[in-house]
Each structure stands twice: as structure tokens, then as C-alpha cells.
Amino acid sequence: MMWRLFILLAIVAALPGCERQDVPPVVATNVVVTAPASGMPMAAGYLDISNHSGTTLRITDISSPDYASVEMHETVVEDDVARMRAIPVLEIEDGGTVIFEPGGKHLMLMQPVGTPDTITLNFYSDEVLLLSVSARFSATMD
């Protein structure tokens, strides 16, 4: 059974120059982190990220104190073969939403540090922390 996870922690740092006061500048919803398969050193993360900052958002890094590394990937099909490609910088236009989902954009959370129950993800634009979210593992994506 899939557990839909919600944001426990909203915006922790606002983007400079935000003009809209009624909506947080960056919002994450539908956060799901799948539990690693037995013996596997990685988990997958899915979420929707919406930009209400008044400017194009550039996510350049994602980190987690619970994993050695977190990478943004995208699954693309070439010659009937699905391949994963790293996304070095993710741009989200003002008013836009990017969806991380199975078979498309997704997060790869690699090499867990200990055995976390709750996963924290920190989204950066260069050195600026844009958003921090926490979630619990879901058993599957079914």
C-alpha cells in the first residue's frame, strides 16, 4: 500500500526578492520516498515542486543528512530502451510545477547513513537553501 506523505516542514528560507506574500515561494507536495529494496543501498524519491517566487528557480543541489548523496535523475526512452540521465540543474519557471514521478524525473537517495525512519531533503540554488522537507518511507509505489 502506498502512503502519501505530506510536508512536515515548509519553507525554511525565502528566495531574495520574493514579491508574493500570500503563497510561499517554493512548495513541495505529494512527497513519497520508497523504502530501499532488500540489500540495495538506495531509495527513490518523488514529489511535486511548485515555484511561486516571481522568478525562475534553479535547483542545483539536493542533500540529505540521511544519505551520502542525493541526485536528480530523469528516465528517458531511446531506441525502446529506458535509460537514466542525471539532471545537473533543474529550472522551474515562475508559476510552474515540476513533477518527480516513476518513469520520469525522480530522486535517487544513495548510501543511507544509519537506518533513518524520517528522511530530510534540502533543496539548494547554489548556496541558498530553498526548501527543506521531511518524509517517512512508503513501503511501495503501488
Position 21 scores a pLDDT of 59
* Domains identified in the chain and CATH numbers: 26-127 (2.60.40.1890)
Task: For residues 29 and 1, give the distance between their C-alpha atoms in angstroms, rounded to a whole number.
Answer: 19
Is 50 exceeded by the pLDDT of residue 14?
Answer: no
Measure CA of the first residue to CA of the last residue in the chain; give whole Å.
6
pTM across the whole model: 0.79
At 115, the pLDDT band (50, 70, 90 cuts) reads: confident
Kindly state the cell numbers that stand for 19: 514579491
